[in-house]
Amino acid sequence: MKKLLFVLSFILSALTANAQLFTKESIKNQENIDKMKYSWGYFLGFNNYDFNFDYNQDREDIQVEKSLGFNVGLIGNMRINEHLDLRLEPGLIISSRNLIYDESYFEGTDFNNSDLIREVSSTYIHFPLLLKFSAKRFNNIKPFVVGGFSAALNLSSNEENPDDNPVGQFRTKRGMLFYELGIGIDLYLFYFKFTPSIRGVFAINDELIRDNDDANSPWTSNVHSMKTRGLFINFTFQ
């Protein structure tokens, strides 16, 4: 994920440098869109979620099998000054991850192959509050960095389920807090502003709920914390 973020960051930087160095002054599209106090839009995109584990004892890492997820949401933007905006981006984030356990976690107990895998499906209602720091607009492009905090409600959480992993229920918390950092480029087209962006999302609180009936549970007892981290690639239309 770090390599992908670096490559995409390099591509965005190269596009910006190319436009600044080799593009002559041109007619500006949507010249007044950034002068409005309030503006609105929507976004579509993709996500790739992972987990970061901290362990109580030094054992084999729990492997995370990731998959590509989907993002969709709205944007509310408040202009503070020429280079700074406050943004609210409520959205629906859908993702799925599989946790793969090493057999060493089950030493001394009977298990089957299905016990080594736990699926973690997440459907987040995501509420980021972000500050957008923009460079000076050049022709019809303007690069920016963005950062802030967000809260999320996991609609797929089974936090209240009384069952635990021995009967196949891997439980996660419903409420999550994150901090977010990203970069992007505003592209001013004839009819609207189009913005591709890349953002890293990092959980602040532990997401795992431990098994109630077994203090030595092979699935949860060795996990000190399990925190979501992810990468968003969003395409915004304003």
Per-residue pLDDT, 21: 43
CB–CB of 124/154 below 8 Å?
yes
Per-residue pLDDT, 217: 86
Label the pairing between strands 193-203 and 223-237: antiparallel
Neighbouring CB atoms inside 10 A of 34's CB total 18
> Is the pLDDT confidence value at 15 over 70?
no
Give the rounded percent of residues in the chain with a pLDDT score beyond 90. Answer: 57
DSSP 138: B
Q: In sequence order, what E strands does 101-159 have? A: 117-134, 141-154
- Write down all domains in the chain, each with its CATH number in brackets: 2-237 (2.40.160.20)
| pLDDT tens digits for range 167-190 | 888 889 999 999 999 999 999 988
Average pLDDT (185-207) is 93
